Amino acid sequence: MKCLNKQLLNMKKILSILTLLLMISLGATAKSYKMPQYDITGAGSGTEGTVLVKVYVHGRSVSDDNLKRAAVHGIVFRGCSGNNSGARQPAMASPTAEVDYAPFCEEFFAENGQCLNFASIVAGSYDRVKTAKGYKTGAILQVDKTALRKELEKAGVVRSLSAGF
């Protein structure tokens, strides 16, 4: 009887370990849409249909793609504070659009998502700042608002400007 209990206990341990390893491996391979923590402010006016923003992404190693994703995400869902002229850039989408259109957002803002096509980094504008909580890396980015709006209207995330008339 004791031998049977020991075997059963050993099998439970092995099964628990295998289950734990499976959960860890599935968690590591799952690609979820998670925006890095970032700050966004206006950085001046760009050419027609574009907007310049200064984006800081918090973290030790920040890639150009993280800066681009944060810039586009900020323009669409947050808006940005004013630049030197005091102009405020409102958010393009409604406050609930990110949740309402979660499948689109997951794909659009994925690591190699389509959002990267709408932002470009202004040469020579990189900045790295040490903060109390670590580092933040920033740059000035130019976001093609016109093309971005067309794409979001096509997906239904943003209402067309002519929809109210």
Q: What is the pLDDT of residues 107-124, one digit of tens each?
A: 999 988 999 999 999 999
Strands of the chain, DSSP E: 38-45, 50-58, 119-121, 127-131, 134-144
Q: What is the pLDDT of residues 9-36, one digit of tens each?
A: 666 777 667 666 556 654 443 345 678 8
**Residue count (the chain):** 165
For the chain, give the mean pLDDT.
82
> Higher-confidence residue: 4 or 6?
6
By the 10 Å C-beta count (0-12 exposed, 13-18 middle, 19+ buried), 73 is classed as buried
Task: Tell if the pTM clears 0.95, that is, is over it.
Answer: no
> What contacts 8, CB < 8 A, 6 or more positions away?
none
